[in-house]
Structures are given as structure tokens and as C-alpha cells.
């Protein structure tokens, strides 16, 4: 399999050489995932310095939902890594989602992690991301049932799911790829079949009205386990859930995901995105 993949990459490199989206240079001595945005260009993408309340967008410690907005959303906070106004970042996200370049999850994941680690003081989000229970760790590593293994984690990562039709069209879930990049550094696990999008909604990008976006996505997500059976009682009780997406605008999608996992017993639910429009 690796030989076939290497051969395919070799042929593609000859026909369609990868050039950095920022400077246009080719870096043939690097892996494909490292060529799309070189280190120099990646370092120029501006990291968001101050996080805000996800609802009112006023200054808030570490992106926590402020006291006045708690009843308006299921999110306890939102971490936004950078700004969509950055042209290179916007181009990278667009190519990732609509040109189906899976390797771009690598630089985008690095941007998220960089934004978290560069903060002078760690808050709730960092605590959830980098702290896990090590109880039953050995059992967890040997356990093939991902839902049982979730019991050894205080925090679990859940990507915003795609409907199966859209997943089949695109071939991958961009939020899941980003989630795996974050999990690889945090030591947490990604559960990509815990939350499903059971309604095939109209893509939010095609809807301009904020109110229509909320209506479009309302009730579109459910927490399930394999075979669409109800999850075991108490599985998510008192868990911290980090929901990952590439971009958010009105917060409607992340909010619906947060409400779904909170109905299943989650204690704290945070969203994390590369950028917010």
C-alpha cells in the first residue's frame, strides 16, 4: 500500500508539482503535507491574540462564554486560532474544503496548536485540551471498543460531522482531519462516530441570513453509537467535549452540536475553529 501511495505521489509531483500557496516555491525535499504552506509563510499567518465570548464577541478570558450569554448557547467557550481576513489562510481553507486537498489539514492543525501554545496564560480550553485522566490507560490502549475506551478520558474530541451523502461526495470530513491533528499533539482521542448529522442540510455557506442558518441546522445532529443505537447511559456524563470545525460564522452549527452532546450528559463543551468569518 505504501509503495502504491509513493508511486502515486511521484507521478503527481511530476504532472502537478506542489507549490507553496504563499510564496509559490517548490520544496521537493519535504513531504507533500509540508509543501503546501512552507514554514516561513505559515509563521506569517497572524494568530488571534485575544479571545472573545462566542455570542456577544466582547472580550472574554480565554474565549469563555460570558455570564450574560450562557443561556443563549450550548457552548461554554470558543477558541478561534486566526482571522479569516488573512488571505493566505482563507485560500488554504478554501482549497482544503473545496479542492479536496487533505494534506492541508497539517498546516491548519499547526495554526490551531500554535495559537493555543503561544498564549501567555493557560485557561479552561488549554486545561481541557492538555489534561486527561491516566486511569486505566493500559486497558484503554488495548481496548478495541472506542466507546468503552472513552471512559478513561476526561476530555474527548469530536469533529463536526458531515451527512453521509456529503461525505461520500467529498471523500473525507475536513473537521475530522483537523481533529486528528489536534489529538496527535494533545494525547486525546477523536470520536468521529459518536455525533452524526442525521439530516442532509443545505450547506451553511449557501445561506446568508443568520436566522435561516439557525433554522436550517436546528436539530440536525444526534449522539449515537455504532448501529445508530443509543449511547450507553452515563458515557458522556461529566465529560469535557471539544468540538472541532474549520470555520464558523453564525455559531449555529457548533451550537447545535454542543446542545446534542450536552443532552447526552456532557459537562463542558468548547468549540475550536481555525478562523471565524
> 210-268 pLDDT, tens per residue?
788 888 888 889 988 644 555 665 678 889 999 999 999 999 999 999 999 999 899 99
pTM recorded for the entire structure: 0.85
Cα gap 163→183, rounded to integer Å: 23
> 101-119 pLDDT, tens per residue?
999 999 999 999 999 998 8
- pLDDT of 132: 57
Cα gap 132→189, rounded to integer Å: 10
Residue 9 has pLDDT above 70, yes or no: no
- Domain architecture of the chain: domains with CATH: 47-276 (3.40.50)
Q: What is the DSSP string of 107-170?
A: HHHHHHHHHHHT-SS--HHHHHHH----TTHHHHHH---HHHHGGG-SEEEEEPPPPHHHHHHH
The order of strands in the sheet holding 268-276 is 77-83, 268-276, 240-248, 155-159
Amino acid at each position: 500500500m505504501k509503495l502504491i501511495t509513493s508511486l502515486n505521489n511521484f507521478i503527481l509531483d511530476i504532472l502537478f508539482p506542489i507549490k507553496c500557496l504563499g510564496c509559490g516555491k517548490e520544496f521537493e525535499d519535504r513531504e507533500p503535507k509540508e509543501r503546501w504552506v512552507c514554514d516561513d509563510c505559515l509563521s506569517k499567518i497572524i494568530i488571534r491574540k485575544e479571545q472573545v465570548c462566542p455570542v456577544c464577541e466582547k472580550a472574554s478570558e480565554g474565549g469563555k462564554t460570558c455570564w450574560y450569554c450562557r443561556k443563549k448557547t450550548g457552548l461554554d467557550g470558543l477558541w478561534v486560532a486566526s482571522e479569516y481576513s488573512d488571505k493566505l489562510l482563507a485560500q488554504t481553507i478554501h482549497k482544503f474544503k473545496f479542492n479536496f486537498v487533505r494534506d492541508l489539514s497539517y498546516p491548519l492543525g499547526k495554526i490551531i496548536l500554535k495559537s493555543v501554545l503561544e498564549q501567555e496564560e493557560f485557561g479552561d480550553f488549554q486545561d481541557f485540551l492538555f489534561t486527561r485522566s491516566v486511569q486505566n490507560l493500559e486497558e484503554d490502549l488495548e481496548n478495541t471498543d472506542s466507546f468503552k475506551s472513552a471512559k478513561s478520558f476526561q476530555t474527548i474530541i469530536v469533529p463536526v460531522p458531515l451527512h453521509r451523502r456529503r461525505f461520500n461526495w467529498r471523500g473525507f470530513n475536513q473537521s475530522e482531519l483537523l481533529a486528528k491533528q489536534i489529538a496527535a499533539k494533545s494525547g486525546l482521542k477523536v470520536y468521529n462516530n459518536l455525533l452524526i448529522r442525521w439530516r442532509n442540510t443545505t450547506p451553511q455557506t449557501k445561506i446568508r441570513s443568520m436566522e435561516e442558518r439557525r433554522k436550517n441546522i436546528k436539530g440536525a445532529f444526534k449522539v449515537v453509537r455504532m448501529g445508530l443505537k443509543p449511547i450507553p447511559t452515563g458515557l458522556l456524563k461529566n465529560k469535557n467535549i471539544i468540538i472541532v470545525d474549520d470555520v464558523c460564522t453564525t455559531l449555529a452549527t457548533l451550537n447545535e452540536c454542543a446542545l446534542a452532546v450536552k443532552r447526552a450528559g456532557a459537562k463542558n463543551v468548547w468549540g475550536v475553529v481555525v478562523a471565524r468569518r
